[in-house]
Structure 1
Amino acid sequence: MAKAWNEFIKNGNISYAVRTEIAKSWRRCMELNVDPMGGKGNSKYKLPLKIIIERNEELISVARPVMESLHSVVAGSGFAIILADKDGYIIDVIGDTDIMKMADELNFVKGELWSEKAVGTNAIGTALFLDKPMQTIGAEHFGIKQHIWTCSASPVHDEDGNIIGCINMSGKFSSAHIHTLGIVISAAESIQKQLALVISNKLMNITFNSICEGMIVLNEKLKTKRVNGRAVEILGVMDKDLKEMDIVQLMKTVNFNEIIKGNSISYNNIECDFHVKGKIVKCIINAVPMQVNKKVIGIVITFREIQDVHRLVSKVIGYNASYNFEDIITQNKKMKDVIKLGKKIAKTDSNILIQGQSGTGKELIAQSIHSYSDRKSGPFVAVNCASIPSELVESELFGYEKGSFTGASKEGHPGKFEIADGGTIFLDEIGELPLDIQSKLLRVLDNNKISRLGATYEKQLNIRVIGATNRNLKEEIKKKNFREDLYYRLNVMSIETIPLNERKEDIDILVKHFVEGLNVKREEFHKKVTENYINKLKEYNWPGNVRELRNVVERDYYLSDDNFILCCSDEEKIYINDEVKAHNEEHHIVPIQILERETIKNALEICKGNMAKTAKYLNISRSTLYRKIKKYNSN
C-alpha cells in the first residue's frame, strides 16, 4: 500500500490494489490541496474548544459511558477511543498513556478538526464524508504522518438519520484488525439507541411537566413514583413531601384498591377533595389504571382545581360580561356621572348595590363595572333571584354535596358563587331573596366563604358581589322583608340608575341606535326615523324605561310600510290604549295579553284586513294569527 501511495503522490496513478473509497478520497484530497507530507492536526481550522463542547454537550454526555465501557474492554491494547462531532472536530478522547502520547504528537486531540480537507484521508473524515463506517490502515491515510496508525470509525445518527457525530478507535498500524471496525459500529449503534432513549425521556418529562393538569403516578403498591410541577402547585406542597404522603389518606373518596385489583374501575371527571396538611383542595380528577399484559402495574391520577374547571365552564356556557361602559349610550349629565362613578367603583373590590326602576340598565352597569375591573378575565355570573323557586335558592346559589337531599346529583353540584370564583356574581332582584338565604349571604359577604348544602366545611372564594333591585330596600327593611345588616354590608358602594323620563334627550340617540341594529339584522330593510317620530316618543312618560323604548321601536320598525318608521297606533298614544295606560299608572306594568291584542289590532288596520300580510308583518303563521284573533274576540 505504501508503494501505491508513492505512485499516486508522484504520478497521480491509482493502483488496482487501492480500495475504491480510498482512491476517491485521495483524489478529493489532491483537489483540496491537502499536503500529503503532513497529516497532523493544525490551527488553520481551530475553533474555541468551549464552543465545540457546548454545542455537542448532549452527544458527549451520552457517548462518554459507551466510550468508557469500550475502553475497559480494550485497555492495554494500545487503542484510543475518539469522539468527533458532525463536522469532524474531536470532542472527547479516552486512551492508554502511550497511545495518548502518540495522539498528542499528531495533534489528534480535543478541538482539532479531523476532516479530509484538514488532514486528508482518515477514518473519521472519510466516514463522515461517505456517511458509512470506514477503516483506514497505514498508507491508506493521505497524510504520511498518519501512516503508522490504523483507525476505524462509524458515523452516529439521530432518530431522523442525520449525522450528529462519529465514534473512532485508533491505534498503531501493527494492531490493525477487521474486528475493530465491528466494535466501533456496535458502539455507534449503542450511542444512537441511548440518545433516542434520552430524547424520549426528555420529551416525556417536558410533556409530563408542561400539561396544565396535576399528575401523580402510583405503582402497584400505591406508592407515589412521580408527580409533576402542576400537582405540586395545586396542592401547595413540596415535591419531596408529596411523594412521601399516603395517597389513600390524601384522597379518601377514591377506592384505589379496587382499581389495582383490575376490576375495571376508573374515575373520570369526578369531584374529589384532597386532604393536604389540614386543608381541603377541591379538584376534578381522573384516576385510571396502567396495564401491561392485562396486569395493573399502577395508577395515573390527573386533576385540575375545581376553580379552573368552573372558569372553563363559564366561558363555554357564557358566564362572561358582554358590555362595557362604552356601550352605554347617553348625552345626559346625570347618566354620565353614573358612568364616571361606576369606573371609580370598578377599581375597588367593594360590594355594590345598584338601585333603580326596571329597564334602566342595572345589569348593563354591573357588566360594565366587571369589564372595567381587574376581574375582567374572570367569570361574570348573573342570577335573577326572583326566578328561582324558594326551595331551590340555597342549592342554586351555594351548591350541594352528593347525597345531601333526595334527587341530588351523585357527584354533587357547584353553586353560582363557586362558578363565579375569581370574578363577579350579579344578584339581580336581590330584594326577592328569602330571609334565611339573606342570612347565609350575609356570612358570605363577611368572610368570602361558602358552605355547600350538606357540606361539613367552608370553601374560601375570591369573589365580588353586585346586587340590584327595583325595590326600596329601606321600606322592605321596615316591613321585615329585608335584613338591615345585609343592606349595609352590601351597600358599601351605591349606584342609582336614571329613569328614561329624566333623560329624554337620550331618546333620539337610543332610537337611532336601535334602528341601526335592526337594519343590520334585516338586510332587506333599511329604515329611517323622522323628527316627528322622535318627538312623539318624547311625549310619553316611559314607565318601562329603555327596555320599553326598545320594544316600541322594534314593533314600529316592523309594522311601518315604507322606509320611514311611523307610530303604528293612535297619534296621541304610542302603543297603549286607555286600558293599558291605567295599568301602567296603577301598577307600572303592562300585561302581555293587552300588548299582543293591541299589536294585532294595529297590524290589521295597517294591512287593511289582509291576513297574509298581517301575519308576515307580525312574523307569525296565518293559523297562529287566526287563533289569536279568535282568542281575543271571545274575551
Structure 2
Amino acid sequence: MGNYSEFIKKAWEEFVSTGEINSKIRTEIIDSWIRCKKNGVDPYNGKGIVRHPNIDELIKKSSDLIHIARPIMESIYSMVSRSGFALFLADKDGYIIDVIGDKDILKRGEELNFIKGELWSEEVVGTNAIGTALYLNKAFQTIGAEHYGVNQHSWTCSAAPIYDEYDNLIGCINMSGSYYNAHSHTLGIVTAAAQSMQKQMALLSSYNLLNITFDSISEGMIVINKDMKIKRINGSALKILNISLEDVKDTDINKILTGINFHRFIEEKKSLNNYECDISINDRNIKCIINIFSLYNNGKSNGAVITFTEVKVVHKLVNKFVGYRAKYEFKDIITNDLEMKNVISFAKKASKSDCNILIQGESGTGKELIAQSVHNFSNRSKGPFVAVNCASIPSELVESELFGYDKGAFTGALKEGRPGKFELADGGTIFLDELGELPLDMQSKLLRVLDNGKVVRVGGINEKQFDVRIIGATNRELRNEIVKRNFREDLFYRLSVMEIQTIPLRRRRDDIDLLVKYFVNKLNEKNNNKFIDIKQSYIDELKKYDWPGNIRELKNVVERDYYLSEGELKNISNKYYDSKLDSIKNKDDISIKENEIVPFDKVEEKTIRAAIEKCNGNIQLTAKLLRIGRATLYRKIKKYEIDVSK
C-alpha cells in the first residue's frame, strides 16, 4: 500500500500542477480528475461546501430509504465497529442523509463537513466514492490520493448506488475509514448492502401498494386472525362503521358481527357470499351485505378476510343500473294555461316539504311527469325514484313486490330473498301509480308502513327502517271510492297531505298548439331532421275533439299522422275518431234513470255493461270511458260475470 500511496500521490501532484496524465492510473480516476479540473473544483480543499437549506425536508423526502437502510447499516457496523470505519447514506443527488460509525472517524468526518445535509457530489467536492459512484452509476472505491481534494487523501471510501424496484437510482451507501485500513472487501460489503436495500425497497413498495389497494377499496374490509381478533381494517370499513382504528384493533369480531360462526370459516376453510346481516357497533345497527373468505397458508389457518357493503349502497347501484331515477323536471311540462301553471306552482311548493303527495287526474294528463318533477325539485333529487304500477301487479304478489321477501318465503322465491320497492327507494321517492287499484288488505298493510316507517319482508321477522317519500297517483276519484268502501279513508288522509289535481286536455285546448309543435319537432330530430310542415288547419281540427285519452292520446295521434304524412302534416286519423272517439265522446248517452234508487253494485254493473256495449267490446276504450284501470275493469267483469265475447 505504501508504494501505491507514493505513486498515486506523485501522479496527483503532476496532474494538479501541470495537467500531465499518468497512464498507469485507473481510467475512472483520470477521467474523474479531468472532470473536476473542468468544473473548477479546488484540489487543495476536498471539503463539503454546499449544505441543504432544509435538512428536515431532505430527511423526510428520503424517509423510506432511511427506514430500509438504517437496520442494514447497523448490522454492518456491528461487524466493523471499533475498526475505524463509518457508514454514510446519501440520496440520489449526493446529499448525506444518515451516518453511523466510530466516534473518532465521525469526528474526522465533521472536519470535512462529511455530515448530514452536506452535498458530496463529484462536481462540488471532487473525486470521492459517493460522488463518483453516483456519476458512473456503479460501485466505486477511492483510496488516498485518488481523491481529487487533498483533505481526503488520508481516507479510503467504498460506495455503491442503490436502486428501487424499477432500477431508478435513489441513493448511495458508502463505507469510509482511514487510508491505512483500505481493503477491497469493503467494496464488496457496500455492494451487497446496496443490493439488500434494493430488495427491501421492492418489498416496501409492494407493501405500500398493498396498503394503498387495501385502503382504496370501496368495500369495508376486515382481516382477523385465527383467534378472531381484528388485525387489519381499511379506511372504508372505518367510515362505514363510523369508528377509529383504536376502537376496534384487536377486538373480537364476534362483538361486532353476531350470529355468524367464524370458527367454521376459519377451521373448515368455508366461505360466505352476499349474506345480508346487521353489524352492531356503538348501539347502532348497520345493514350490510358481507362476504367471508378463509386465509390459508401451507395448509394452516391464519384467519379470515371479511368484506362488507352497506345495503343502501348496493340499492343505489341497483337503482342506477335498472333506471330508478326521475328524468323529467317542471321545465319539461309544456303549457301556457294559467290553471296548469297554478298546478305547477303548487307542486313546486309541495316538493320542498317532505309530505306525502296524492296526484289525481284522468289518464294521460301527466301524473308521472309531475311526480318525477316533484322528486327532482325536492331535497331527495339525488336519491332513487322508484315507480310502481299498482294495477299491473297480481294481487297475490303486491306485498312481496312492495316490501320484499326473505329466503324461503314461498315457492319460487329466490333463495337469497329479494328487497322490495320501498327498500330500493330508501333515501328517495316511491311513486305508487294507479294507487286506487290496491286491494283492501294491502291498503291496511301500507297504512301500517306509513305509520311506523318500517317494513317487514314477507317471511321475515326483522323490521327494516326506511326513509321514503310517497307520491301516489290515481285516475279514480278516491273520495267516491271511500264511499263505495273500495279505499280506506285513513289511508287516503295519510297519502293526501298535499293533493294535486291534473288538468285534462279538453280544459286547456290552447296548449294543443304547443304540444303538437313540440311532438313534431321531437319526431323531426329523431328522424334525421326530417321536416314536416304543420298547418294551423291541422291543429284547429284536433281542437274539435275532447281527447278522453288526454296528452298521451294526442301524442299517439300526432305520431301516427306524422309517419303517414309527407311534406305536410295531415289528419290521417279522422276515420279513427269518427268510428271510435266520437261514439264515446258524449258520456250522457249512458242510460240510467235519475229517479231510480238502486244499490251501488247494481249501478256499477249496469254502467259497465252499458259502457262495454257502447265501445263494441273494446276493453281499452271501455276503461277510458269509465276512467278506471284495465286490471280493475277485468276484476269487475269477473265479479259480475259479464260476457264480453258477444
TM-score range, shorter chain: 0.7 to 0.9
Residues 453 and 40 of structure 1: is their aligned pair in 2 closer, same or farther, counting only changes over 3 Å?
same
Residues 88 and 568 of structure 1: is their aligned pair in 2 closer, same or farther, counting only changes over 3 Å?
same
Residues 282 and 261 of structure 1: is their aligned pair in 2 closer, same or farther, counting only changes over 3 Å?
same
1:411 and 2:419 correspond: no
1:566 and 2:566 correspond: no
| Correspondence for 2:438 among 428, 433, 438 | 433
Can you list the C-alpha shifts for 1:550-587, whole angstroms capped at 9, x where unaligned?
11212222333x32222225489566365454689757
Residues 169-188 of structure 1 correspond to what in structure 2 (within 5 A)?
A: 169-188=175-194
Q: Secondary structure at the match of 1:576?
A: helix
Unmatched runs of 5 consecutive residues or more in structure 2? 1-7, 591-607, 622-644
1:546 and 2:551 correspond: yes
Residues 125-164 of structure 1 correspond to what in structure 2 (within 5 A)?
A: 125-164=131-170
Q: Secondary structure at the match of 2:522?
A: helix
1:479 and 2:479 correspond: no
Can you list the C-alpha shifts for 1:266-307, whole angstroms capped at 9, x where unaligned?
333343343446654332222223343465543222121111
Moved more, 174-183 or 186-195: 186-195
| Correspondence for 1:196 among 193, 202, 208 | 202
Give the AA of the match of 2:421: K
Residues 61 and 551 of structure 1: is their aligned pair in 2 closer, same or farther, counting only changes over 3 Å?
same
Task: Give the whole-Å Cα distance in 1 for the aligned partners of 2:589 and 2:241.
Answer: 60
Measured after TM superposition, the shift of residue 194 of structure 1 is 2.2
Partner of 1:77: 83
Moved more, 401-410 or 138-147: 401-410
Asked if structure 1 preserves the Cα contact closer than 8 Å seen for 2:162 and 2:195, the reply is yes
Can you list the C-alpha shifts for 1:87-132, whole angstroms capped at 9, x where unaligned?
1111221222211111111111122111111111000000000011
Task: Give the whole-Å Cα distance in 1 for the aligned partners of 2:616 and 2:286.
Answer: 49
1:5 and 2:9 correspond: no
Q: Secondary structure at the match of 1:167?
A: strand
Partner of 1:532: 537
Q: Secondary structure at the match of 2:531?
A: coil
Residues 580 and 170 of structure 1: is their aligned pair in 2 closer, same or farther, counting only changes over 3 Å?
same
Asked if structure 2 preserves the Cα contact closer than 8 Å seen for 1:262 and 1:295, the reply is no
Can you list the C-alpha shifts for 1:295-353, whole angstroms capped at 9, x where unaligned?
55432221211111111111111111121111111111111122222222222222111
Partner of 1:21: 28
Residues 477 and 121 of structure 1: is their aligned pair in 2 closer, same or farther, counting only changes over 3 Å?
same
Give the AA of the match of 2:357: I
Give the AA of the match of 1:383: V
Give the AA of the match of 1:36: P
Q: Secondary structure at the match of 2:118?
A: coil
Task: Give the whole-Å Cα distance in 1 for the aligned partners of 2:259 and 2:412.
Answer: 21
Q: Secondary structure at the match of 2:105?
A: helix
Q: Secondary structure at the match of 1:566?
A: coil
Aligned CA-pair RMSD: 2.7
Give the AA of the match of 1:446: D
Measured after TM superposition, the shift of residue 30 of structure 1 is 1.0
Can you list the C-alpha shifts for 1:467-513, whole angstroms capped at 9, x where unaligned?
11112222222222222222222212221111111111100110111
Asked if structure 2 preserves the Cα contact closer than 8 Å seen for 1:137 and 1:151, the reply is yes
Measured after TM superposition, the shift of residue 243 of structure 1 is 4.6
Moved more, 521-530 or 506-515: 521-530
Q: How many residues align?
A: 596
Measured after TM superposition, the shift of residue 261 of structure 1 is 4.5
Residues 46 and 225 of structure 1: is their aligned pair in 2 closer, same or farther, counting only changes over 3 Å?
closer
Partner of 2:639: none
Residues 224 and 15 of structure 1: is their aligned pair in 2 closer, same or farther, counting only changes over 3 Å?
same
Can you list the C-alpha shifts for 1:126-161, whole angstroms capped at 9, x where unaligned?
000001111111011001110001111111111111
Partner of 1:323: 328
| Correspondence for 1:122 among 128, 131, 148 | 128
Partner of 1:625: none
Give the AA of the match of 2:73: M
Asked if structure 1 preserves the Cα contact closer than 8 Å seen for 2:387 and 2:431, the reply is yes
Asked if structure 2 preserves the Cα contact closer than 8 Å seen for 1:135 and 1:153, the reply is yes
Partner of 1:31: 38
Residues 593 and 172 of structure 1: is their aligned pair in 2 closer, same or farther, counting only changes over 3 Å?
farther
Task: Give the whole-Å Cα distance in 2 for the aligned partners of 1:240 and 1:83.
Answer: 36
Task: Give the whole-Å Cα distance in 2 for the aligned partners of 1:575 and 1:324.
Answer: 37
Task: Give the whole-Å Cα distance in 1 for the aligned partners of 2:140 and 2:484.
Answer: 101
Measured after TM superposition, the shift of residue 63 of structure 1 is 2.1
Compute the TM-score of the two structures, normalised by the length of structure 2. Answer: 0.86
Give the AA of the match of 1:209: D
Can you list the C-alpha shifts for 1:337-392, whole angstroms capped at 9, x where unaligned?
22222222222222111111111100000111111222222211000111111111
Partner of 1:359: 364
Moved more, 60-69 or 357-366: 60-69
Partner of 1:41: 48
Partner of 1:53: 59
Task: Give the whole-Å Cα distance in 2 for the aligned partners of 1:422 and 1:591.
Answer: 44
Residues 104 and 270 of structure 1: is their aligned pair in 2 closer, same or farther, counting only changes over 3 Å?
same
Q: Secondary structure at the match of 1:14?
A: coil
Measured after TM superposition, the shift of residue 162 of structure 1 is 1.2
Residues 202 and 572 of structure 1: is their aligned pair in 2 closer, same or farther, counting only changes over 3 Å?
closer
1:235 and 2:241 correspond: yes
Unmatched runs of 5 consecutive residues or more in structure 1? 598-633
Residues 78 and 209 of structure 1: is their aligned pair in 2 closer, same or farther, counting only changes over 3 Å?
same
Give the AA of the match of 1:414: P
Moved more, 428-437 or 520-529: 520-529
Asked if structure 2 preserves the Cα contact closer than 8 Å seen for 1:569 and 1:575, the reply is no
% identical equivalent positions:
58
Residues 207-356 of structure 1 correspond to what in structure 2 (within 5 A)?
A: 207-247=213-253, 250-251=256-257, 256-261=262-267, 265-276=270-281, 280-293=285-298, 296-356=301-361
Measured after TM superposition, the shift of residue 66 of structure 1 is 2.3
Give the AA of the match of 1:565: L
Task: Give the whole-Å Cα distance in 2 for the aligned partners of 1:297 and 1:74.
Answer: 40
